[in-house]
Amino acid sequence: DGGITQSPKYLFRKEGQNVTLSCEQNLNHDAMYWYRQDPGQGLRLIYYSQIVNDFQKGDIAEGYSVSREKKESFPLTVTSAQKNPTAFYLCASRMAGRGNTEAFFGQGTRLTVV
Amino acid sequence: GNSVTQMEGPVTLSEEAFLTINCTYTATGYPSLFWYVQYPGEGLQLLLKATKADDKGSNKGFEATYRKETTSFHLEKGSVQVSDSAVYFCALNQAGTALIFGKGTTLSVSS
């Protein structure tokens, strides 16, 4: 089955630690995205990548980093510089170059700082 | 820049009531418009989309019409069910950019 997989579903981090969230897709999509979801704030774009080895900052990139070494994978690292990392993180992918194609989402990772 | 504004929630309805969730957008050119739905603890799923003016997207009894003159894409359903309880997001996209979402509207349907 084609799809997009995020892992883990729940993640706990101690303050001061970096943590990496995994996102893998087998849909052969060029474009991948990371969003952060907080109650009442909707989805805010962290980073996106339209092609391998290239990515752009979104609206709230500070304290986060990404890599895109393979088409299938777009991991997100939440660094210790992120002041308030507790949130629900969603990864998505879609065909690049056309604005009318839908995005497919993973099931999300809920990160909690303890 | 591009933006999406949707009505504040929560929206609370009885089963079989009529549903409208308003969505307006700001964008240059001709974006594609989407409605996504999110059930508790899950990611988002596409509900419907429209890619040009006057297009009507529909799915599972939900409908929305792309109105360029009013820059709107309101979601409607004639008779809601308890299983429709979820968070609904309006979104827009243009080629080469990321999807831009509204803040979401929580719908709660009681029997």
Cβ within 8 Å of residue B61, ≥6 positions away: B77, B78, B79
Q: Are A14 and A86 in contact (CB under 8 A)?
A: no
Mutation target to probe the B interface, by most B beta carbons within 10 A, among A6, A34, A100 is A100
Mutation target to probe the A interface, by most A beta carbons within 10 A, among B92, B101, B105, B106 is B101
Q: With an 8 Å Cβ cutoff, are A103 and B51 in contact?
A: no
- Taking contacts as CB-CB distances below 8 angstroms, the residues of chain A near B94 are 99
pLDDT in tens, B57-86: 999 999 999 999 999 999 999 999 999 999
Q: With an 8 Å Cβ cutoff, are B34 and A58 in contact?
A: no
pLDDT of chain B along its 111 residues, tens only?
889 999 888 999 999 999 999 999 999 888 999 999 999 888 999 999 999 999 999 999 999 999 999 999 999 999 999 999 999 999 999 877 888 999 999 999 999
Touching check for A112 and chain B: CB below 8 Å?
Answer: no
- Average of per-residue pLDDT values in chain A: 93
A13, containing H or E segment: strand A10-13
CA distances from A92 to A60, B62, B76, B104 (A): 16, 23, 26, 17
Touching check for A61 and chain B: CB below 8 Å?
Answer: no
